[in-house]
Chain A
Amino acid sequence: MRLRLAPPQGAFAEPHEVICALLEELGRRTESAGASLIGHLKCYVDAPSGESFHGSLTSLRSGPRCRGERAQGATSLTVDLTALVYGLSADQVEAVTLATLRHMQEQGRFEWELRELNHEHGHDQGDGHAHHHEA
């Protein structure tokens, strides 16, 4: 999904921290919702300045990572977010993601706006294939 994040006021001092917090909260919630395995939570982030970076989380134990430009002082962030998770349906992953965003807004981390919601892409379950869901 594509999101636009805006700071509650002013600018994001440390966008990497915001995105890492988002990925970690999303990871926690997918596990709480019954995910058997986090495949990959990842995103690519663009700032109005032209700076960009990417974020990634493959397990809560390893934690989230952001790499790339810091985009400090960004007044908004455009986030392409992909959540590949085992053990939850596409609808469940989407619901967990939206609940995560609402929670973080309530916590005063950012305000968010959904720009685009991707369709699910299932995968054959024949030999050698896994089954995951994406939001």
Chain B
Amino acid sequence: MNLLLFSGFLGSGKTTLIRAFAQRLTDEGLTACFIVNEVGEVGIDGRVLGDGGLDVYEITAGCICCEIASSLVTTAEQIVERYHPDLMIIEASGIAAPEGVLKALAHRRGELFQDQLVVSLVDPTRLEMLLAVALPLTEAQIGGADELVITKLDEATPDELAAARKTLRDLAPQTRVSEITSENPDSFLPLLGRLATFGASN
């Protein structure tokens, strides 16, 4: 089993992308389990994913990168024991640093899962504000990614898009960057293809 971690600030489009990816996995005959972490007591994203027919484990009322990391390990163990999926997909909370999530699971790598991939989503319409308000978090989410995704192409101005591309080049020059919009499902396809290949590679 491989581990795929979706990171990105609140409202950056993680749940939307995961729903699209789940359909792609189904089409390719791959199995996956989903862990959704939200900082609030009431899980919204887990219910949204559940509406898509997905088996979702929710971890709420804290952040899995620090406060309740042990819950993540326990949940991952349960998933492996019960389902042996091809892929374990984690939607981190919007305030999680991917490094913290991976650190929580690091001692079980090679046992619970083999390979790992971090995908961080970036909302270009709010990136400038985020860099001003939550710089360390933003840097951690961008710098900790293996693949970066600029979302909301349809909402961003040309200047916002140009600034987002430059910020990603500056913070993560070696990392591949995709650009998607939920208004154009075709924009997801190359990214989903790469992620599916990763899922099938265990």
Contacts and interface: CB of A to CB of B under 8 A. Distances in A.
Given A2-B42, A82-B44, A128-B99, A37 B11 contact: no
A59 B9 CA distance: 13
- Main DSSP-derived SS at the B contact region: loop
Nearest to B130: A37
Contacts of A59: 125-126
A84 B126 contact: no
Interface residues of B, number: 36
B54 to A, nearest CB: 14
Contacts of B10: 39-40, 58, 84, 132
Interface in A115-133: 118-119, 121, 123-124, 126-130, 132
A130 B42 contact: no
Given A84-B39, A128-B137, A123 B48 contact: no
B40 A129 contact: no
Interface residues of A, number: 35
A44 interface: yes
Contact of B40 (A37, A121, A128, A130): A121
Interface in B36-71: 38-42, 44, 47-48, 51, 61-63, 65-67
